[in-house]
Amino acid sequence: MNNNVGWQFDNSYAQLPEFLYAPLNPVAVRAPHVAILNDALADSLGLALNSLSEQDAALLFAGNILPDGAKPLAQAYAGHQFGNFTILGDGRAILLGEHLTPTGERFDIQLKGSGQTPFSRQGDGRAALAPMLREYIISEAMHALNIPTTRSLAVVTTGESVRRETPLPGAILTRIAASHIRVGTFEYLVRTGNIDGIKLLADHVIQRHYPDLSTTDNPYLALLNRVIDRQASLVAKWLLVGFVHGVMNTDNMTISGETIDYGPCAFIDTYDLNTVFSSIDHQGRYRYGKQPDAAQWNLARFAETLLPLIHPSQEKAIVLAEQAIHAFPNIFQNYWLMGMRKKLGLFTEEAEDQQLIDTLLDWMQQHQVDYTNGFRELASTSIPNDDKYADAAFIEWHTHWQARLSRQPESLELSLRLMLANNPAIIPRNHRVEEALTAASEQGDYSPMHQLLAAVTDPYTEQTHFNEYRTPPPPSAHIYQTFCGT
């Protein structure tokens, strides 16, 4: 069965020393059943899932049957969680191995919710259905929005309950990632005093993700700078679409620059820099507008782990690392400004663009304008036909913006096309996600989820039959809190 599917495992992480992981098989479940399969992703991975029966697919993605060539393991790592250091590890996940696609790309294949591991810390190692479906929806929406992300290949129900506040249906998610190596993986080695292990892991990361850095004068400083650049670009993309990660701990920051862990994440409706969704983020540490600051703080922790490799002199290493970290705000700002110019149809650069953007965003926050719809509605040859746009402050801003557009050589038509390509019509709005999850997990009805997926995985196309997904929630349906996946 597994050979016919097309697995091609080449497990480089499993060849590293076992202080980085614990070899371990998933814990079999009683009655697995396929909830959803991502056929398009499977095709891109070179996997012929249509060759499997539904029962075999359920057994495979539950971990009851292992693919040929897999070397399952639970990864060790640590993390600063809301600023506090903790030893962690894969407490409910098993990395089956690394699959090579027909084009030679390498992806981790991980089962999430696959049972207890040595890192479970009193947890049951399992996951509930709704949070796994939530990760499936949001990660696929993020991919469609052209944001680097882990992806979801399958969700299976287990036929077993997990107990949280109440018994909930259990499930296992199959997650696909460039790798699951995190800032917290490096922190784990520092805390255990394994300096040789840090070099070994850094060399592995360079070989796997950034092989061009191996010939630079200082590969480890170059690695730090590359990860800083990747994260600055990533977080800028989050803000540009109104995404709030919600739990930006160092164990949730990948070295590859992908978005990972879709627990208390959400998209803003009305524009507000202080938006917080996570039920446990009482101080707003990871609120929408503070995400760049959180990323820089996490990257400083990464830099600290690399100090012995950056330079033999600790004093010199600190100077070099600080220079790299202090460059983050400007790198982020450049990515964000470049993206904002595209959202406003600007091909050229002018010094006043920042003020033009800030004035619009201030107006949006003051008038509680829907962030996604507001930018999409600007892609018109005239002022949008809505009462809020009759405001004198907006009309003045619009006049300045039109004058700015006229000063570039590209036509207005090209500017509007640029805007439509960079301002999504549809995002996975929180109330719609919750409706789909409730229907699936409580009534066994997956049709709202499939409908939502069809809408959010083609976000830049005008599709009138999906107009209901563009409508902001009524005040009674606003989701003000989201919860970590369990």
Tokens (6 digits) for 89: 């590890």
**Cα 432 from chain centroid?**
19
Give the DSSP letter string of 152-215. EEEEEEEEEEEESSSEEEEEEEEEEES---BHHHHHHHHHTT-HHHHHHHHHHHHHHH-GGGGG
Q: How many residues are recorded in the chain?
A: 486
Asked whether the beta carbons of 235 and 329 are under 8 A apart, the reply is no
Letter string b/e over residues 144-168, b meaning 16 or more CB atoms within 10 A of that residue's CB: bbebbbbbbbbbbbbeeebeeeeeb
User: How far apart are alpha carbons 408 and 444 in whole angstroms?
Assistant: 54
> What are the distances in angstroms from CA 188 to CA 8, 247, 408, 466?
30, 19, 51, 46
251 is catalytic: yes
Q: Which residues make beta-bridge pairs with 108?
A: 98, 177
Of the listed 108, 251, 269, 281, which one is catalytic? 251
| Residue 31 C-beta-side C-alpha neighbours within 13 Å | 4
User: Under DSSP, is residue 5 helix (H, G, I), strand (E, B) or coil?
Assistant: helix
Number of other residues whose CB lies within 10 A of the CB of residue 326: 11
User: How far apart are alpha carbons 94 and 174 in whole angstroms?
Assistant: 10
* Residues known to be catalytic: 251
